[in-house]
Structure 1
Amino acid sequence: MVWSCDLSCVLNRQWPKRKISFSSHTVMSHTAPGQQRRPTQTPTFQWLSFAHQGLSEIPYSAILAQSDSLEVLDLSYNLLDEYPFNDLDRLSTLILDCNIYTSHIKFPFMPSLTMLCINKNKINNLPVFVEEIRRKFPNIKILSMMNNEAAPSYFNGGSLTQYNDYRQYVVSQIPGLEILDDTEVLEKERAQARKTYRIQQGGKGTSADKPEVRGVGRQIVQSRVRAALREPERYVKRDVN
């Protein structure tokens, strides 16, 4: 099933116990005394989901038909291993969880993208993958890549030392990152990353770097982590064959 709607509709369908509202509504703009106030419309987020479809190829035509307004694209729980799109200029959030993407995936240059979820894939070479993310998504703020071999953690048997080293490397190479996996990047951690690894130059940011989108990103990552902890057999141990 394919559907698109505003963000509150999507979040409430996926996590019905956690009601989140981002529907469009009218607000009154600020005006000087004596001037007439005009209503303005707050934006909605256009979301398109192809999750749990068993896809081995990306449905290009259906996605490109929404390219002018699409901001959130969910291709999770499929059999995908490539992402060749380069015409989604408004896309800010990309969800690729539980596919078969490897460290050598090639993305198009997408300065609009601020959030990438690519949990439970086949990523095993951290430097190669992080370099691709750093170059192609210069304004990324939220990256979640849990339960990949390249991201050692309690999900896949990694030690605390391995987990800390992984985080420091990613933060050092993508210094604009605000959330990595399920945890916010703190200044103390960022400072340690600078000492441990050569830090890259961060992007300057664009109009796509919206605080409301980042807030939604935090909720998406945190909700998926909580779901994984409640039902590990569904998320952590699910094989994609």
Structure 2
Amino acid sequence: MATNEINRNYEDEAVIAIDVATGVLVDSVTTMSQSNIPPELIQSADDTNEEDPTKLTLAYERLYELPRTIVERFADHIRYLDISHNKITNLDALVHFKHLTSLIADDNPITENCFLPPMPKLQLLWLNRCKISSLYPWVGKLKESCPALCLLSLMGNPAAPSYFNGGTFYDYLQYSWP
């Protein structure tokens, strides 16, 4: 399985993310993030021709869970995992990925009831267009499971309202960090 470039077009959506390190809501329509994203967390177009043994892409594989054989073979050395565009609802197997720093799990039916295993090195987590409808108490559990988390993106989830997906100003304020 070769690692593929993650290429998404968000032109019609507002980019909403939470900078967990500073507790700041980042909405690209109204503000620009003040914090820099570490370059090792971003996969650039230049990376597409290089095979990196620490990156694994399982996007668009019609998976309902991470296959045991994949976990056994790759968990010890994977730092970047893309499981986007599947049907995964259970993330329990991620407990075996001890070195994971980046997880992309966009477009999966993950809800706020999904157990998040301890991932002490995880710094980047994308759960865009999932089924997360409530941030509390889920975000508290996330903080415990992923103490090193720096960037969390929840665009397109019911719990991440914006003016562009029918959210009101009150919804936006409820989503914002105090």
Return the TM-score normalized by structure 1.
0.53
- Rounded to whole Å, the distance in 1 between the matches of 2:56 and 2:153 is 19
Counterpart amino acid of 1:134?
A: K
Structure 2 partner of 1:148: 157
Q: CA RMSD in A?
A: 2.3
DSSP 3-state at the match of 2:112: coil
Identity %: 30
Encode CA deviations 1:123-180: one digit per residue, 9 max, x unaligned.
1121022112111001100000111111111342112342243121xxxxxxxxxxxx
- Rounded to whole Å, the distance in 1 between the matches of 2:48 and 2:148 is 23
Counterpart amino acid of 1:145?
A: L
Deviation at 1:61, TM superposition (A): 1.4
- Rounded to whole Å, the distance in 2 between the matches of 1:148 and 1:14 is 20
Structure 2 partner of 1:185: none
The question of whether the paired residues in 2 share the 8 Å contact of 1:46 and 1:70 is answered with yes
Alignment of 1:79 with 2:105, yes or no, is: no
The question of whether the paired residues in 1 share the 8 Å contact of 2:111 and 2:132 is answered with yes
Deviation at 1:67, TM superposition (A): 1.8
- Rounded to whole Å, the distance in 2 between the matches of 1:119 and 1:95 is 9
The question of whether the paired residues in 1 share the 8 Å contact of 2:128 and 2:156 is answered with yes
The question of whether the paired residues in 1 share the 8 Å contact of 2:132 and 2:157 is answered with yes
Structure 2 partner of 1:19: 45
- Rounded to whole Å, the distance in 1 between the matches of 2:112 and 2:119 is 18
DSSP 3-state at the match of 1:61: helix
Structure 2 residue corresponding to 1:129, chosen from 132, 138, 148: 138
Deviates more, 1:73-82 or 1:53-62: 53-62
DSSP 3-state at the match of 2:136: helix
The question of whether the paired residues in 2 share the 8 Å contact of 1:147 and 1:156 is answered with yes
What residue ranges of structure 2 are gaps of 5+ in the alignment?
9-43
Question: Hey, which bits of structure 1, 4+ residues long, moved more than 6 A?
Answer: none
Structure possessing the higher radius of gyration over alpha carbons: 1
Encode CA deviations 1:57-89: one digit per residue, 9 max, x unaligned.
222311331122201111111111001121211
- Rounded to whole Å, the distance in 1 between the matches of 2:97 and 2:66 is 14
Return the TM-score normalized by structure 2.
0.70
